[in-house]
A and B are shown apart, each in its own frame.
Chain A
Amino acid sequence: MPYLALGAVAFHACFLITRALQVHGLPIETRLDSVALFLWLTAAVFVVAEGPFRLGGIRVVFWPLFALCAIGMGILSGRVPMDRPTLGRTWLLLHLIPVYAGYAGFAVATGAGVTRLIQQRLLRGKRPEALWARLPSLAKLDQIGRVAVSLGFPLFTAGLAAGAIWAQRDSGLLGRAWYSDPKVIAGFAGWLIYAAVAHIRLAGKMSPNRAAILTIAGFLVALATFGVSHAYPGRTAPFSAPSGISSKT
């Protein structure tokens, strides 16, 4: 049982609850809040899935990768306030939570992909048993990658669709030409990458090793779209979440 990780997730949850009490609602007042929620969701997905999906072996790769992403995203986001939505918070939840869960799946698939590359290198390089015996099998890592993507991609798609409907219904949110917003385009680009990764992984036509490399590359590009969404001061939340969340602008 990953007690340390479980403790960290619980500690992080306390922070989110404190913020939720401060803002009287979902703690996404600032981009840092939003990133904190995303990171918590990713960590929680991993900790919950670790037992049933036997992810224990990729822990050693996942958590350092997660820590790096968390530091990077924390530095990038800052305490930039977000706008108030004119539609209800239900739409916000319908959009944000699936998108974040989709990205969490992508992150787990990336962790499995990185572990696969390491494991393959160890096995082919005839490295000491103490190293390769501790990591999961290549077949298990491929399975984790496939399952994470096949669960994450529909969630991500549903989240983006909810965001699009939200933007369409609330014309004040991003304007009538909401689809030309740079953050929406970046989000759509992220979806295209995710779609390509999901297609290739699930179709099984590419070698598992190349599929792992593609997953990692896809996740990095998707992270870049996150960076793009922050480069343009606008109203959308990270990962192309429609904007207007803060009550204090």
Chain B
Amino acid sequence: MTTPRTIQVVGLSHHTAPVEVREALAFPRARLPEALASMRAAEGVEEVVILSTCNRVEVYVCARSAQGDALAKSLLRNFHGLTAGSFEHHLYTQEGMDAVAHLFRVAAGLDSMVLGETQITAQVKAAYELAAAERTVGRVFHRLFQHSLSAAKRVRTCSGIDSGRASVGSVAVQLAQRIFETLTDRTVLLIGAGQIGEVVLRSLRTAGARTTLVANRTFSRADALARECGGSAVHFDQLLANLARADIVISSTDAPHYAIRRCDVEDALRARRGRSLFLIDIAVPRDIEPSAAELAGCYLYNVDDLQMVVEETISRRKRELNLCLATVDEETEKFMRWARGLEVAPTVAELRDSLHEVKRQELNALLSKYPDLPASARGEIERTANRLVNKILHLPIKALQEPASDDHG
């Protein structure tokens, strides 16, 4: 009798480990094939997938050994040259149905730092595809990972877990797109050198904004950032003259007074001949006179406005969480049913073969007593015997494939 297969996951994530531990255990993309091969070579291990992102490192193992988790821990330790006991307390281990449910939650973004984010689904897919290419995936993990991707899709379709924007940068992009449609031919002006300002600028550039102007009281700082993002630096005293050139202005200076007053915005709008101006004031205290928001064609958002959209998204996603988890449970149950069927398949085949063998022997004995039976009668007897065997087999096979619920996991 062979040892039954066990699905296990060993890993750590932003829930259990700080960034320095995650960094130390992350697998560089180029070395993943080596890690997969090393784990696959361990005794009893049949299938391996390694998911390594900035927020989590997880080793999924399908093994005919109860030592799958110990093997995964040993891989992490040896691969990264760490000492025993230096990281184990950050690790979590899940097995069987819990491991499956964990993967389904991860793939659907329900375990992510930003609840419902979709990037993780692509990362799970990439991890699976790499393992498949390295031939460390077999029948169970092909099914498991494909199921996790379809379950993630179902979770998103059934709920609004991925709707809305969950970061200040993405909210700014979404707002800009609702004003200008595309950002390709838009000019972004960044004033100051605040960290959030840079994050928002990068988000806008990723969304397609090509022309960037950077203004800073320290010109060299503006020049360095402008070079970094392929834009051009603007002298701070030329700021207002450049205001009309910009479609989107991100302001994040540490000035104690308004850097852009209402009349400056009014002049810029006049020069823009009615074209909209999107102002993002991330500075505290604020850089842009709030009453500028009253001007036609001016869309002024401060950091609280953007943060409010983010919080609204997060709270909406949290409300959807229970529905998503119920979907994950359903999908996990579906997979476990398939896995149990796979596990009992050899037993079912053995049972079926032995009963059919008994049937064959009994039929031979019976038919040898009546050699003159016409072929039609022989055929009818054989068909009846087949039906009888199949009916006898039905209940035990069903019982094997669907054990009582307290056996799960």
What residues of chain A have their CB less than 8 Å away from a CB belonging to chain B?
A: 119, 123-124, 126, 128-130, 132-133, 135-140, 143, 204-209
B164 and A138 form a contact (CB under 8 A): no
Q: Give chain B residues whose Cβ lies under 8 Å from the Cβ of A126.
A: 301, 305, 308
- B177 adjacent to chain A (CB < 8 Å): yes
Q: Give chain A residues whose Cβ lies under 8 Å from the Cβ of B299.
A: 123-124
State A138–B178 Cα separation when bound (angstroms): 6
State A140–B276 Cα separation when bound (angstroms): 13
Size of interface on B: residues with Cβ below 8 Å to A: 26
Q: A128-B312, A129-B164, A129-B171 are in contact. Are A123 and B274 (CB under 8 A)?
A: no
Nearest-Cβ distance from residue B281 to partner chain A, whole angstroms: 13
Given known contacts A123-B175, A137-B177, what 6 new A-B pairs fall within 8 Å (CB)?
A: A129-B165, A137-B179, A138-B276, A139-B179, A207-B274, A207-B296
Nearest-Cβ distance from residue A121 to partner chain B, whole angstroms: 12
Interface residues of B in 166-187 (CB under 8 A from A): 171, 174-175, 177-182
Query: What are 10 A-B contacts with C-beta separation under 8 Å?
Result: A129-B174, A130-B164, A133-B164, A137-B181, A138-B178, A138-B276, A143-B181, A204-B273, A207-B296, A209-B297
Q: Chain A interface secondary structure, helix, strand, loop or mixed?
A: helix
Q: Give chain B residues whose Cβ lies under 8 Å from the Cβ of A209.
A: 296-297
Q: A138-B179, A139-B181, A209-B297 are in contact. Are A129 and B274 (CB under 8 A)?
A: no
Nearest-Cβ distance from residue B253 to partner chain A, whole angstroms: 23
How does the 8 Å CB contact mask read for B60-85 relative to A, with 1 for contact and 0 for none? 00000000000000000000000000
Chain A: CB-nearest residue to B182: A139
State A137–B181 Cα separation when bound (angstroms): 5
Contact of B178 among A128, A137, A206, A208 (CB under 8 A): A137
B308 and A137 form a contact (CB under 8 A): no
Q: Give chain B residues whose Cβ lies under 8 Å from the Cβ of A133.
A: 164, 174, 178
Q: Give chain B residues whose Cβ lies under 8 Å from the Cβ of A206.
A: 274
State A143–B182 Cα separation when bound (angstroms): 13
B178 and A119 form a contact (CB under 8 A): yes
Interface residues of B in 229-277 (CB under 8 A from A): 273-274, 276
Nearest-Cβ distance from residue B288 to partner chain A, whole angstroms: 15
Chain A: CB-nearest residue to B299: A123
